[in-house]
Structure 1
Amino acid sequence: MTVTFGPDHIVFAGYEFPWASVHPHGVLTASRIRDCYVEVGPLEIRTVSGETLFLSWDDKPGLAEFCRRHDIPVVSRLDVWGNLFEPFLDTEFSSSEQSATDARLRAVGLSQSSIDTIRQRLTPLMHSYNFDSMLWEWGHLGLYELLKALNGHLVDPALPAALGDLGEVYRWAMEIADYGRAKAL
């Protein structure tokens, strides 16, 4: 996945997620970008349609300059998927930490029932991604890792297929990611 910054657009080459608007090669104009998140990698672009696109950490200077030139907000937001996937990390969380995580998710509009249903739906996939693969990630799993798992990375190919139409799953995942409220940095 590489990008080139043009005067008023970003060119994506080899974007790895087949359900994305820029897969495998695509152009994203500045006018289609709602905001960007550059605090940690992979970097995120949120489009006006609510799609999250990823860039490499190495693209941070180029993306920051592109955002400055086009007055695109650089924001901080709750990592909804990172919070949803805490139970799939190779880390123990106390009951008070678990309650705080769920409270953050409820604060952005997800009901406890939705939180539980999302986690239950993705348990086989994310368990396979992190534990069966022996990745043993203990710090962070988020939307990017979900998309990698949906793409068959580190998982039994039957697991993504069991979720149904992966294009629909991709759109559903983007809608959930968009629950995180952006705050200007």
Structure 2
Amino acid sequence: MEVRFAEDHIRFLGYDFPGASVYPSGMVAPAGIRDADWKAIRPEVRTVLGETLFIPRERKPDLEAFCHRHGIASVSRPDTWGDLLEPFLDTQIGAAEERATIDRLRKAGFTLREIAGIRRRLAPLMLAYNFDAMVWEWVHLGLFDLLTAAGAPVVAAGLRATVGDPAAFYEWAMAIAERHR
């Protein structure tokens, strides 16, 4: 993924996520950006349509300058996907941590049944991504990781296909990302 900053837009080149408004390449103007988080582990902009677009880490300073120049708010929000994908980390989650995670998800409007359904749907994909592909992430799996897993050649094509139509999957993932507390 490559990103170029111009005076009046951000251009995405080789954006890897089918379904994205900038896939495989495209741009977003300041008027299309709701807010940004250049301090995040994976810097991101959120569009006025509720889409999260990721920026390479090394472009953090450029994103910050672009946002300051155009008056785009800096907003750090909870990562709903980080909580949903927690069971797929390469670590043991204690009972107290799991209760806290479930509480955060319930505050974001998720039912226990919905949480279990999402996790069940994604279990084969995320287990293959984190363990079979030897990513071994033990701290955080979030939206970027989910989208990467859905398209990663290191995950068997048959498992990637279980998510269904890539554009529909992307839209579903973005809608869930918007549900935060």
TM-score (norm 1): 0.94
In structure 2, the CA distance between the partners of 1:95 and 1:104, relative to structure 1 (3 Å rule), is: same
Asked if 2 retains the 8 angstrom alpha-carbon contact of 1:129 and 1:153, the reply is: no
Task: Give the secondary structure class of the aligned counterpart of 1:83.
Answer: helix
Counterpart Cα distance in 1 of 2:78 and 2:112: 17
Q: Letter of the 1:176 partner, please give it.
A: I
Q: Name the structure where strand makes up a greater proportion of residues.
A: 1
Asked if 1 retains the 8 angstrom alpha-carbon contact of 2:18 and 2:166, the reply is: no
Instruction: Please name the residue that 1:15 is paired with.
Output: 15
How far has the Cα of 1:12 moved from its partner?
0.9
Most deviating of 124-133 and 9-18: 9-18
Instruction: Please name the residue that 2:33 is paired with.
Output: 33
Q: Letter of the 2:22 partner, please give it.
A: V
Alignment of 1:11-90 (within 5 A): 11-90=11-90
Counterpart Cα distance in 2 of 1:23 and 1:134: 27
Q: Percent identity?
A: 50
| 1:156 has 2:156 as partner | yes
Asked if 2 retains the 8 angstrom alpha-carbon contact of 1:160 and 1:166, the reply is: no
Q: Letter of the 2:151 partner, please give it.
A: N
Counterpart Cα distance in 1 of 2:22 and 2:119: 28
Counterpart Cα distance in 2 of 1:134 and 1:4: 31
Q: Which runs of 5+ in 2 are unaligned?
A: none
How far does the alpha carbon of each residue in 1:110-149 deviate from its partner, in whole angstroms, 9 at most, with x for none?
2221111111100000000001112211111111111111
Counterpart Cα distance in 2 of 1:173 and 1:129: 17
Instruction: Please name the residue that 1:176 is paired with.
Output: 176
RMSD of Structure 2 on Structure 1 (CA): 1.1
Counterpart Cα distance in 2 of 1:112 and 1:68: 40
Q: Letter of the 1:159 partner, please give it.
A: L
Task: Give the secondary structure class of the aligned counterpart of 1:77.
Answer: coil
Q: Which runs of 5+ in 1 are unaligned?
A: none
Instruction: Please name the residue that 2:4 is paired with.
Output: 4
How far has the Cα of 1:52 moved from its partner?
0.7
How far does the alpha carbon of each residue in 1:53-100 deviate from its partner, in whole angstroms, 9 at most, with x for none?
101111111110111111111111111111111100011111111010
Instruction: Please name the residue that 2:110 is paired with.
Output: 110
Task: Give the secondary structure class of the aligned counterpart of 1:118.
Answer: helix
Task: Give the secondary structure class of the aligned counterpart of 2:36.
Answer: strand
Counterpart Cα distance in 2 of 1:113 and 1:176: 15
Instruction: Please name the residue that 1:120 is paired with.
Output: 120
Instruction: Please name the residue that 2:92 is paired with.
Output: 92
Asked if 1 retains the 8 angstrom alpha-carbon contact of 2:150 and 2:163, the reply is: no
Asked if 1 retains the 8 angstrom alpha-carbon contact of 2:17 and 2:170, the reply is: no
Counterpart Cα distance in 2 of 1:158 and 1:83: 26
